């Protein structure tokens, strides 16, 4: 999840916020990484029954 948040903030942290396509790319990919991480954390802490 930290990697996703860092990716979202990186255009402003590393100074390439003036390039709109790079900003949108990093924000969208960062959001995807953060959401994937959150879903994995949710699955680990809320296990469901395994269907056979």
As separate numbers, helices (DSSP H) first and strands (DSSP E) second, the chain gives 2, 0
What was the pLDDT predicted at 52? Answer: 55
Taking each helix axis from N to C terminus, what angle separates 2-13 and 20-45, rounded to the nearest 10 degrees?
A: 160
* pLDDT at site 36: 96
pLDDT score of 19:
94
The CA R_g of the chain, rounded to the nearest whole Å, is 15
The pLDDT score that the predictor gives to residue 49 is: 67
pLDDT at 29: 97
Contacts (Cβ under 8 Å, ≥6 apart) of 10: 26, 30
Q: Along the 52 residues of the chain, how does pLDDT read in single tens digits?
A: 999 999 999 999 999 999 999 999 999 999 999 999 999 998 888 877 665 5
Tokens of 33: 């990484």
Instruction: Name the 3-class secondary structure at 51.
Output: coil
């Amino acid at each position: 999840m930290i990697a996703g948040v860092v990716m979202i903030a990186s255009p402003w942290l590393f100074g390439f916020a003036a390039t709109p396509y790079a900003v949108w790319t990093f924000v969208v990919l960062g959001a995807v990484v953060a959401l994937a991480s959150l879903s994995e954390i949710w699955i680990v802490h809320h296990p469901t029954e395994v269907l056979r």
